[in-house]
A and B are shown apart, each in its own frame.
Chain A
Amino acid sequence: MKKKIITSKKKKAMASLLKKKTRDCLEEKVRQQTDELKIRDGQLKRGADREKLGADREKIAQEQIHIRTKAMESASDGIFIIDAKKPDFPIIYANPAFYGLTGYSKKEVIGQNYFLLYGPNADMHVLDEIKQIISQGRSFYGELLKFRKNGEKFWSLLRIAPVRDTKGNVTHYVGIKTDTTLMKQRNLEIEEQREELLHVTRVGKLAEFVSSLAHEISQPLTAILSYAQAGQRMLKDREPRLREILQYIINDDQRAAEVIRRLRSLLKKNKPAFEPLDINALTNDTVTLIMPHITAKNKIIKLELGSGLPMIQGDRIQLQQVLLNLISNSLEAMEDSKDSHELLIRTSLRDADTVMVQVKDSGCGIPQENMKKLFAHFFTSKPDGLGMGLSISRSIVEAHGGHLEAENNPDRGATFYFTIPVNRDNKL
């Protein structure tokens, strides 16, 4: 019975500590100490030495303060405390990470107005906004461009929260700042890669489009030229004015043909740059690029990457383009379905000479009547589709000596898969 009471008190002690977030060790220690204290408290109620209890309490309180201080000093985020009762926001504490982050020394920081540390280049509007928010007893959360003491820029994720006394009055503000510069840079790099890939895809689509168009137009131009030349020969020496007109038709036909020839050479596909590639690394890179899109659509992507796969020989950008196309098709297939979320990408060795990549979705699947036309130019089942994605993907895969195929899954959705021959020179 007694044990139970202690447990419930213990929980209360824990709950209040949990607010201080993830300090498991600390909690454990405090809990033990609290238990100890309570047991002794019970013993002392019978008139034992109350002075000793006071000393013990003092000691435990000291230890708690010590641990918390140590924890703050060890944190890798910059932590600082501002006195809220003074009008000029003086900093009364900052941890070592804060000094490291800002480049200021302890002397320069303690007692200093927090906002002055932002330097002369700071955005005053933002600072006023922060001041206003915290003065109202609310928390601030935001990412700002800041300057170190030496003028160096860095991105800081800043959180400032009010600290209240027992009456609810704001006595201090506690702030945490995290350097997000590297993270930002990485995101920027990913964004650039994605742009590059999109550009290549757009150019590829355009080239394929122009090529198909050029072929379609060349046919009638061929016929027109031959008809006109035949007409000229039939007239022989008769009807000089009609012969002249036929000559104009011939000239303009050849002019049109020249335009098409130039257009075609302008968009001539760059020769693929073949290099040894690790298909798993390529898959990972591609997924990283499209991850924000997947998250935004509330879908999950699962990777089953075969281990020890041999290197393949291929064009990195082109193969990424294929994979990206298959992934975005799958996402679209799952768009309208509320209960299908999962997309699976699997890499494996199909046989000793062939690596296979499968993209499996749980979407609407492919209607039987579309199966045959799936890879044809200009075939699309999407209202705003061009019908180029899969046909280009297939020609890329075939240029690599592989195959791109599709099939419906036995349960639901479809699987697209492509094979690429193993690079024999680098075979394991």
Chain B
Amino acid sequence: MSVNVFIIDDDESVCRALKALLMTYDFEVRTFNSAQNFFDTVAHDDPGCLLLDIHMPGLDGWEVQKRVLASGSDRPVIFISAEKKDDATDRALKAGAVGFLQKPVNGQTLVDLINGIKD
């Protein structure tokens, strides 16, 4: 059975491209242009990991992750952001995320990170 990946990014093109890439690795990918959209569609116990952009209008990445945790979901979260502050990786891991990747994301790095979650 293939692994589910959910992508939340307000940039439609980024969503489409990441989806195209991850599908070549046989992931099952669904994209969302806003966090609200994701919460409305995906149940908290739907299995799958979440690729999360940080800078978004409305709920930003950090808040989305908090809400995911608060809902009791054990969904793995990977932050992806154009801006990389020095402590971003630390902050992401401390918040309970699986990792932090800076945009533009190298495909193999991302896939390795996702595949690492399963273990």
Contact = CB atoms under 8 A, between A and B. Distances in A.
Interface stretch (A14-22, A215-223, A299-307): A215-223
B24 interface: yes
A254 interface: yes
Size category, A interface: 20 to 34
A257 B83 CA distance: 11
Interface residues of B, number: 22
Identify the interface centre among A224, A225, A230, A234: most chain B CB within 10 Å of its CB. A230
Contacts of B14: 219, 222-223, 226
Interface string A234-259: 10000000000000000001100100
A409 interface: no
Interface of A: 211, 214-215, 218-227, 229-230, 233-234, 253-254, 257, 261, 264
Listed from nearest, the 9 A-B pairs whose CB atoms lie closest are A218-B82, A226-B17, A233-B24, A223-B17, A229-B107, A230-B21, A230-B20, A225-B104, A222-B104
B30 interface: no
Interface string B1-22: 0000000000101101110110
Given A215-B55, A229-B107, A253-B104, A222 B23 contact: no
Interface string B54-81: 0100000000000000000000000010
B29 to A, nearest CB: 11
B41 interface: no
B23 A219 contact: no
Contact of A254 (B17, B83, B104): B104
A3 B20 CA distance: 109
Given A215-B82, A222-B14, A223-B16, A233 B21 contact: yes
Nearest to B18: A226
B105 A226 contact: yes
Contacts of B84: 261
